[in-house]
């Protein structure tokens, strides 16, 4: 395992993109905010300065919301659903045509390996836009047989219409910057809504690229607006804004609770995709050759900065040593380095602050009764690298097992029990309920466990299956509502019922 200190030069197109003047997108125009404040963006692999971006605040949020409100009633409301579909599809085509640029921006901004960035942008960017382009022409209400006020059958008709919910405020995190925007933008556009986006301030580039592409394909001015800025200022102003109809938020559970309070001002609708601490449960009859790579990637994908990460590995006594040794061997062999290096399997954490937070948990683990199986150290030199870390013999009363770490730290717990309810009770000893997986060849055990684990998504013999058509979201403090699939469209729609009396 080594952190490559080499500096890899991105393509000229990417260098040109970074070197341009970065602005906010309001009403189809690139504009400067009132404040002179700027945020410097650094490559987490090299700590090199990439670019500085402007900082918007409440004033720019006001302007962007006004543009989104006007666009909602303007040309955007009049174009056909076929045209809406075509525009979303064209945005996917443009993103595909700029895949290398989007990938390099994502890698430089976030640190993730190039192969993962390309995969994520294809699956949760391009495919996602195309999936929701298809939905734009399939949104419709119902006719309902009713007899209000004693009317006879045949004397009345009630029909419903699905209308766009209105102006959407989207607030997104840094861990997968482009997909996090598209997960909200695609259903928002399909439903006919308009958006003001506040991306994570430290990963702005792929959002800016999407803004540029949205103009290029002819999405009308004001439909997609971008306000860069601090969460506590621009984000808070958006969440509290009385002319915003819905907030779509992805981020920490802590900030999700703040968003709810802010959104109460006008009772705007809120969806929240929050944190996780997902269980991976391995029974003794499981195919261990599949478990080892599945559990390793499930824990360390995106350096563990992944809400779905399977960070609690529950392994039956009979196969505990085999699984832990296998996962540790695979994790220890990861090629760690800058995401742009073609053979990198694990990149840096997003920032020094995030690495320090994660290392704080590692120190708590070392001070506990848990066994440090591997890792536990940062890597010397430039960049916010750390070793993938595994703690064995953990219990659910330990801080490292209970709290979301959002870094490459896996907690393994042993079970000897065959009482599925007792095993599931351990997996559910957390405030979160986002994801999870069960590994066994016994179909009966698999389905019983799926029913017992209190998570929004539980996979059998794989972890964190992601596809645009699979609803995704959290139970308990992992969130409100679902993204992906038909269910992911619902939060962007409202229903109007009309009754006709003949
Ligand atoms: P944060 O909650 O810190 O930030 C998320 C977004 O909210 C950022 O744009 C941030 O702005 C903004 N924000 C911060 N404070 C406020 C505020 N007071 N009012 C309004 N907006 C605010 O999360 P992270 O960016 O650190 O992301 C990591 C978290 O996201 C983890 O807990 C992870 O589990 C969760 N997550 C959940 C996913 C899911 O689908 N369930 C997917 C991915 C991540 P700024 O950048 O300026 O701080």
Whether 106 sits among the annotated catalytic residues: the reply is no
Question: What digits encode the pLDDT tens for the residues 22-44?
Answer: 999 999 999 999 999 999 999 99
Task: Work out which ligand 1 atom sits closest to the CA atom of 251.
Answer: 30
Does the pLDDT at position 185 exceed 60?
yes
Count of H-run helices and E-run strands, the chain: 18, 22
Whether 273 sits among the annotated catalytic residues: the reply is yes
Question: What digits encode the pLDDT tens for the residues 68-123?
Answer: 999 999 999 999 999 999 999 999 999 999 999 999 999 999 999 999 999 999 99
Q: Would you call 369 exposed, middle or buried from its count of C-beta atoms within 10 A (0-12, 13-18, 19+)?
A: exposed
- Which is it for strands 269-273 and 409-415: parallel, antiparallel or unpaired? unpaired
Q: Report residue 169 as tokens.
A: 């405020």
Mutate which of 120, 173, 351 for ligand 1 pocket (most atoms within 8 A of beta carbon): 173
Confidence of residue 153 (pLDDT cuts 50, 70, 90): confident
Asked if 130 and 85 count as a contact pair (C-beta separation under 8 A), the reply is: no
33 lines ligand 1 (CB under 6 A): no
pLDDT at residue number 2: 46
Q: Report residue 485 as tokens.
A: 């699939």
Terminal Cα-to-Cα distance of the chain (whole angstroms):
77
Asked if 168 and 184 count as a contact pair (C-beta separation under 8 A), the reply is: yes
Catalytic residue among 201, 233, 273, 426: 273
Average pLDDT, the chain: 97
Confidence of residue 140 (pLDDT cuts 50, 70, 90): very high
Helix, strand, or coil (residue 450): helix
Asked if 133 and 96 count as a contact pair (C-beta separation under 8 A), the reply is: no
Cα–Cα distances in Å, from 336 out to 8, 64, 115, 447, 462? Answer: 14, 41, 13, 37, 24
Q: Report residue 167 as tokens.
A: 């102006």
More confident residue, 291 or 153: 291
248 lines ligand 1 (CB under 6 A): no
Catalytic residue among 193, 307, 374, 411: 307
432 lines ligand 1 (CB under 6 A): no
Confidence of residue 220 (pLDDT cuts 50, 70, 90): very high
Beta bridge partners of 415: 316
173 lines ligand 1 (CB under 6 A): yes
pLDDT at residue number 1: 42
Helix, strand, or coil (residue 168): strand
If you take atom 48 of ligand 1, which residue's CA is the nearest one? 231
Across the range 229-233, mean pLDDT stands at 98
273 CA → ligand 1 middle, Å: 9
Does the pLDDT at position 3 exceed 60?
no
Question: What digits encode the pLDDT tens for the residues 429-439?
Answer: 999 999 999 99
pLDDT at residue number 6: 63
DSSP 264: T
**Cα–Cα distance between 192 and 304 in angstroms, integer?**
35
**Which residue has tokens 């609708």?**
269
Asked if 349 and 316 count as a contact pair (C-beta separation under 8 A), the reply is: no
Q: What is the DSSP string of 322-335?
A: HHHHHHHHHHHT--
pLDDT at residue number 150: 86
Confidence of residue 154 (pLDDT cuts 50, 70, 90): confident
Task: Work out which ligand 1 atom sits closest to the CA atom of 174.
Answer: 25
Helix, strand, or coil (residue 347): coil
124 CA → ligand 1 middle, Å: 18
200 lines ligand 1 (CB under 6 A): yes
239 lines ligand 1 (CB under 6 A): yes
pLDDT at residue number 502: 87
302 CA → ligand 1 middle, Å: 16
304 lines ligand 1 (CB under 6 A): no
**Cα–Cα distance between 400 and 410 in angstroms, integer?**
9
- Counted residue by residue, the chain has a size of 502
């Amino acid at each position: 395992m080594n952190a490559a200190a080499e500096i890899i030069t991105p393509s000229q197109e990417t260098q040109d993109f970074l070197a341009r003047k970065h602005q906010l997108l309001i009403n189809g125009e690139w504009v400067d905010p009132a404040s002179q404040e700027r945020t410097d963006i650094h490559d987490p692999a090299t700590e090199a300065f990439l670019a500085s971006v402007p900082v918007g605040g409440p004033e720019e949020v006001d302007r962007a919301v006004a543009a989104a409100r006007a666009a909602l009633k303007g040309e955007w409301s009049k174009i056909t659903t076929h045209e809406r579909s075509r525009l979303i599809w064209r945005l996917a085509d443009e993103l595909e045509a700029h895949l290398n640029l989007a990938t390099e921006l994502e890698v430089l901004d976030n640190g993730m390996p190039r192969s993962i960035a390309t995969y994520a942008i294809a699956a949760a960017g391009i495919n996602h836009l195309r999936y929701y382009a298809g939905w734009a022409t399939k949104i419709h209400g119902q006719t309902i047989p009713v007899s209000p006020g004693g009317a006879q059958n045949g004397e009345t008709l009630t029909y419903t219409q699905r209308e766009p919910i209105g102006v959407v405020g989207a607030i997104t995190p840094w861990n997968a910057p482009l997909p996090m925007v598209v997960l909200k933008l695609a259903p928002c556009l399909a439903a006919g809504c308009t958006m003001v986006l506040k991306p994570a301030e430290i990963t702005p580039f792929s959002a800016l690229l999407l803004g540029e592409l949205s103009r290029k394909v002819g999405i009308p001015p004001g439909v997609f607006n971008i306000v860069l800025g601090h969460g506590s200022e621009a984000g808070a102003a958006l969440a509290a804004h009385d002319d915003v109809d819905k907030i779509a938020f992805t981020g920490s559970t802590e900030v999700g609770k703040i968003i709810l309070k802010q959104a109460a001002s006008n009772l705007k609708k809120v969806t929240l995709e929050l944190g996780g601490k997902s269980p991976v449960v391995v029974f003794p009859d499981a195919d261990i050759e599949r478990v080892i790579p599945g559990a390793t990637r499930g824990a360390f994908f995106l350096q563990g900065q992944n809400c779905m990460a399977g960070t609690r590995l529950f392994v039956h006594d009979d196969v505990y040593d085999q699984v832990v040794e296998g996962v540790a061997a695979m994790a220890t062999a990861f090629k760690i380095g800058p995401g742009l290096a073609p053979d990198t399997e694990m990149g840096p954490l997003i920032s020094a602050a995030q690495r320090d937070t994660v290392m704080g948990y590692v120190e708590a683990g070392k001070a506990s009764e848990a066994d440090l199986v591997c890792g536990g150290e940062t890597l010397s030199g430039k960049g916010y690298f750390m070793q993938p870390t595994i703690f064995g013999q953990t219990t659910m009363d330990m801080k490292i097992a209970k709290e979301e770490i959002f870094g490459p730290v896996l907690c393994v717990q042993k079970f000897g029990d065959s009482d599925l309810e007792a095993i599931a009770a351990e997996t559910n000893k957390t405030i979160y309920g986002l994801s999870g997986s069960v590994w066994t060849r016994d179909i009966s055990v698999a389905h019983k466990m799926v029913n017992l684990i209190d998570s929004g998504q539980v996979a059998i013999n794989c972890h964190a299956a992601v596809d645009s058509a699979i609803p995704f979201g959290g139970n308990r403090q992992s969130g409100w509502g679902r993204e992906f699939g038909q269910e992911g469209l619902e939060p962007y729609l409202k229903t109007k019922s009309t009754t006709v009396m003949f």
